[in-house]
Structure 1
């Protein structure tokens, strides 16, 4: 066990949390990647360090690679327009078989499969360019493709599969085989310690028998092969303590014992095949374990680092579509003598949509390029990209609906029936809302980021946090701690406001200077809260969430400015990409100021007390006067 794990174990053992919570934290901690984050641009921000060399200049595709992406995106867009009626998919909850076959013919179920195994072998950048296009047209079809290869079988096999597993399964996806990922259970969301699905070694010693129920298994109802997470025999540590083990299995549809209990119907993305699946003594060969017994959560977390990057791409695609609608409607709709886009109220909405879309595109492409570079640590950036883009996309779609007014709220089929342009903003809103939930909710993303942001501090404090440490070693650990913070802390008060450290960025230099100064402020603020609350800080979820939002906004400003500089030679008017980045950064800086204010100016104590009172039933009187059935 590493020193960091020993430290975390010590914190778990000495805290006042109940045993169930301690077990959950222990299981989650054991699956974390604890490698150094020196190649993480965003991770360094939390320590007050701006590593501009990690994102400047903005990474770019080679001309050959870009040509591959250009041709495929063009082909996909033409196919979607001609063959896929997204409104009909929403109405019937069905993606037509001929559409799925068309996707197969283009190789879209094998986009990330290496060419060695008959796949397209796309980079993450080109994959996300395709997903950006599909998401703008039909959310359900985008989920079909992304659940299959971002978190389904192809990605885990590509990362961790044996050569035999790859040779057996990966070529199948070019032929149209569909995969799924089964992790969530009725009583298990983000807490893997409560997982009940089990995998027991059979008497023959060559198979596992899987039993349990999985919920919200996207593609599960039509999948030919699934990655199924199940608990295997617990592992005994050196100290005699037993810890749960979660293992990933490749399960084929033909294996007896799988039963679909229910197909779920959702607010949006209604064409997805998502449901409740029961496993009864499903006999799986031992060679179908991916990565190794007890390493299922490690696999899941590593897969999600890349897998969740589809959501930023989808968000950017939706933003692009909304921008086109806003431009068209902003010119077409005339009120009080001029187009609504030229009224200030409309203009501000359009400017927000445009600048936010540019930022989402920047974050998407930056993290996609990072995913293609094995030397870079993607954990924090991927979580930030998902958090930032899913939240901003929701605001963009909502703003577009407001700009469209009643026509935004009206279904596209109704608009079409009465002769108006059938822009599906209402469906886009329903499809978009899930992005703030799947692949880690906004709240979970903030807690994940908080845990990663605290890592450097935990490493420095590893020895002093150990239980029953001899006095001499305790003093030595204290001196080590003082030596680090004695040199680190003063540097967090340095400022570059009197000079610019980035003159080559032109007008955008001021925003990167702001990022650098604010990273110092963020780092010392985190340090202050660690000192104030110590092991109680993990319960201060609102404070942690605000700190993580600040870090995410700093990352977004940096990505957007870098992206804008890379596109200066592609300007189409006097208002360059630099102008878009400037507008976004100015708004983001105002948000960061509000977030810092919120750290001290909040009502957390009162709101926690109020929530406790409501949960205890003391304010049931406020619920009176409406129909209510207690199911």
Structure 2
């Protein structure tokens, strides 16, 4: 499937955006030294100004600052016409999944039957976000999120087939295509006449985009590129007619005259010739989604089929993935609702020891945690979708957080639902075992959750470093930067005596009944900013290699954004006197109480000596395991 092993992109991001911007060792500001970039790779004034003006909550979190633009109030982005359109689509879509699509049958057949595909095409499912001018439904991101939720509640295999087609398959054409490219391809793709696929992963490529070996060379007459190579695990690989393909191309620097290979994105048609595929892969789950290896042998690609220019493929791939990731969080909230419904129905009916099991504390805790995880995942998914509809350009951290939280929460909900149903949950007919098989891939593709955690931490640290570099520059001319230096010094002094260093407070933004939770978030943000600064001072450029530390920092960021998103959502419900407002407030308060504790523990683990000892021991243990080829311990029986 196209999404698998997408971590190569994020490793490439880390190398290109952080390793090149070296993080030098830092001392406290009192010694007039701080974070700085390598002189050879200074950020341009325009880029620095853009970064420092970031409206992203996630980016500013790494400075210990609250930037509320994207999170308060909880965004309402649909007008009456858009709401009306969505309502008209929801009913037929739910009816389709109830009366037409058979998820278990699709799973057994390991394909989507042709009659089901035709029904989906008639519903406009293949062109949901394609503008109406090109034959699509023209849905906003928020509308699309709601539709993916319906799919996620019913059949994740179908969801992957649709998502691989439009969330990433032809997303590059939507985002970067020329008017001519859009006019040529989008109508057939929107109608489902042609299916699209996203081709990135390769047999020989590791976790590094630069190791892509597929290669496209310009012909002597400069009219087309000749592509050779292969891609593995491509969703829709055996059914697609249009492919977004990434390949190395020689690019000559006009200034230096030197030629270097760079990744370029191409629109490739099967009809060009030389495009073939292997048999469908046998998978653990999402079996209805066609997954196959795709081969390219002397494929002639017209030069007009380059996407966004030669050598810009890495940027295109990252943009596609960042832009398409939000839908995953929304889809998985649908899956969680399915699991919670199954678990709730069983708990209310099943009797043991003379009463319904719903009255037992262990079951109540499971149901509570499932519902709270769902609520928070939903808040984040629709927050990110709304931010995109509002025109915000920076949402990469938030989208990554939403994907991680939703994929891990959905797995938890499915597992607990199966546990509540007991033996019945293990049976095929309940549908839970299929959901668990389908779900497992979501923590792997679109960037593995492990790589995405590093992506979150290092992206935020880079932004924080830009600000600290600005302070370094100010220290060289203190008389002209008194305000900036006084502010930084005052914040540090207040932090040292246990006071709020920046006056962070969410209290003005939330309902009064959620004040205590808002205070918890304010403290978490304050502590987070201090932890980042400490890490930069201690590790310098070595922070890139501190993956165990970065993972825990990312966990704290995930919990913080989850708290803020759910607080914003609950506050909106309370303000509107929603009939579920009090229930929502109770769930959010419960979540914030536990999340605040987790954040404190994770931040402490980034710098404590006991944690450092554990990290060193894990490295040693892992080294021993690798050297011994597996488990290294004498058997209890001695032989």
Question: TM-score normalised by the shorter chain: which range applies?
Answer: 0.7 to 0.9
CA distance in 2, matches of 1:498, 1:488: 11
Counterpart of 1:410 in structure 2 is: 427
Against the structure 1 CA distance between its residues 566 and 10, is the aligned structure 2 distance closer, same or farther, given a 3 Å change threshold? Answer: closer
SS of aligned partner of 2:293: strand
Shifted more, 616-625 versus 304-313: the winner is 616-625
TM-score (norm 2): 0.86
State yes or no: 1:159 paired with 2:175: yes
Query: Equivalents in 2 of 1:612, 1:157: separation in Å?
Result: 45
8 A contact 2:201–2:233 mirrored in 1: yes
Are residues 1:290 and 2:301 paired?
no
**Relative to structure 1, is the Cα distance of residues 54 and 460 closer, same or farther in structure 2, using a 3 angstrom cutoff?**
closer
- 1:590 is aligned to 597
Does the alignment pair 1:193 with 2:210? yes
Name which of 588, 592, 617 aligns with 1:581: 588
- Distance in 2 separating the partners of 1:247 and 1:488: 46
1:235–1:245 CA contact under 8 A, matched in 2: no
Question: Which of the residues 114, 136, 150 maps onto 1:97?
Answer: 114
Aligned to 2:31: none
Q: Which has the higher contact order (CA 8 A, sep 6+)?
A: 2
Q: Which residue of 2 aligns with 1:469?
A: none
Change (3 A) 1:404 1:463: same
Deviations 1:451-494 (A, max 9, x none): 211122332466999xxxxxxx9994999997885466446564
Counterpart position of 1:313 = 330
What residue in structure 2 maps to residue 205 of structure 1? Answer: 222
Structure 2 distance, partners of 1:607, 1:302, is 35
Kindly provide the CA deviation profile for residues 56-92 of structure 1, in whole angstroms up to 9, marking residues without a partner as x: 1111122321221122121101011101110111111
Partner of 1:629: none
Q: Pick one of 63, 74, 78 that aligns with 1:58.
A: 74
Among 442, 448, 458, the residue aligned to 1:441: 448
| In 2: Cα distance, 1:623 partner to 1:144 partner | 48
Q: 1:235 to 1:613 in 2, by over 3 A?
A: farther
Between the aligned partners of 1:231 and 1:65, the Cα distance in structure 2 is: 42
The aligned counterpart of 1:150 is 167
Partner of 2:37: none
Alpha carbons of structure 1 residues 219 and 490: separation in structure 2 relative to 1, 3 Å? farther
Deviation at 1:182, TM superposition (A): 0.2
Q: Secondary structure at the match of 2:375?
A: helix
Whether 1:431 aligns to 2:438 is yes
Contact 2:135 2:191 in 1 (8 A): no
| CA distance 1:498–1:274, change in 2 (3 Å) | closer
- Cα distance in 2 for partners of 1:169, 1:181 equals 15
Q: CA deviation at 1:347?
A: 0.5
How far does the alpha carbon of each residue in 1:19-59 deviate from its partner, in whole angstroms, 9 at most, with x for none?
A: xxxxxxx9xx99xx985261101211111111224321111
Alignment partner, residue 544 of structure 2: 538
CA distance in 2, matches of 1:282, 1:50: 51
Deviation at 1:549, TM superposition (A): 1.0
Q: State the distance in 2 between where 1:270 and 1:279 align.
A: 25
Q: Partner of 1:219 in structure 2?
A: 236
Trace 1:188-587 onto structure 2 (pairs within 5 A).
188-236=205-253, 243-412=260-429, 423-460=430-467, 476=476, 486=489, 489-490=492-493, 494-495=499-500, 501-502=507-508, 504-568=510-574, 569=576, 571-572=578-579, 575-587=582-594
**Structure 2 unaligned spans of 5+:** 1-14, 26-39
Task: State the alpha-carbon separation in 1 of the partners of residues 383 and 624 from structure 2.
Answer: 45
Gap change, CA 1:530 and 1:237, over 3 Å in 2: farther
Distance 1:319 1:605 in 2: 37
Report the TM-score when normalising by structure 1. 0.87
Q: Specify whether residues 247 and 624 from structure 1 end up closer, same or farther in structure 2 by C-alpha distance, changes over 3 A only.
A: farther
2:506 and 2:522 in contact (8 A); partners too: no
Measured at CA, do residues 283 and 240 of structure 1 come closer, stay the same or move farther in structure 2, by a change above 3 Å?
closer
Residue of 599, 607, 614 corresponding to 2:618: 607
Deviates more, 1:491-500 or 1:131-140: 491-500
Match of 1:132 in 2: 149
Gaps of 5+ in 1: 15-25, 413-422, 466-472, 626-631
- TM superposition shift of 1:592: 2.0
1:373 Cα shift? 2.0
**SS class of match (2:58):** helix
Answer with 452-461 or 83-92: which moved more: 452-461
Q: What displacement does 1:574 show?
A: 7.9
Q: 1:139: Cα distance to partner?
A: 0.7
Equivalences for 1:77-88 in 2 at 5 Å?
77-88=94-105
Once superposed, what is the RMSD of the aligned Cα atoms? 3.1
1:503 and 1:509 in contact (8 A); partners too: no
Q: Deviations over 1:359-404 (max 9, x none)?
A: 1111111001011122341111111111111111111111111111
Between Structure 1 and Structure 2, how many residues are aligned?
590
Structure 1 stretch displaced more, 93-102 or 595-604: 595-604
- Classify 1:499/1:81 alpha carbon distance in 2 versus 1 (closer, same or farther; 3 Å): closer
Note closer, same or farther for the CA distance 1:276–1:386 as it changes in structure 2 (3 Å cut): same
- What is the rounded CA distance, in whole Å, between the counterparts of 1:13 and 1:45 in structure 2? 22
Residue equivalent to 1:19: none
Deviates more, 1:382-391 or 1:594-603: 594-603
**1:237, 1:243 within 8 Å by CA — same for their partners in 2?**
no
Conserved 8 A contact 1:7-1:458: no
Conservation of the 8 A alpha-carbon contact between 1:7 and 1:463: no
Deviations 1:303-344 (A, max 9, x none): 111211121012111111112112211101111121111110
The yes-or-no answer on 1:110 pairing with 2:117 is no
Q: How far 1:94 sits from its partner (Å)? A: 1.1
Say if 1:42 and 1:170 are closer, same or farther in 2 by CA, change over 3 A: same
Aligned partners of 2:460 and 2:254: how far apart in 1? Answer: 28
The alpha-carbon deviation at position 6 of structure 1 amounts to 9.5
Alpha-carbon distance in 2 for matches of 1:380, 1:460: 18
Structure 1 residues 229 and 499, CA, compared in 2 at 3 Å: closer, same or farther? closer
Contact persistence 2:510–2:568 (CA under 8 A): no
Query: 1-side partners of 2:256 and 2:547: how far apart?
Result: 32
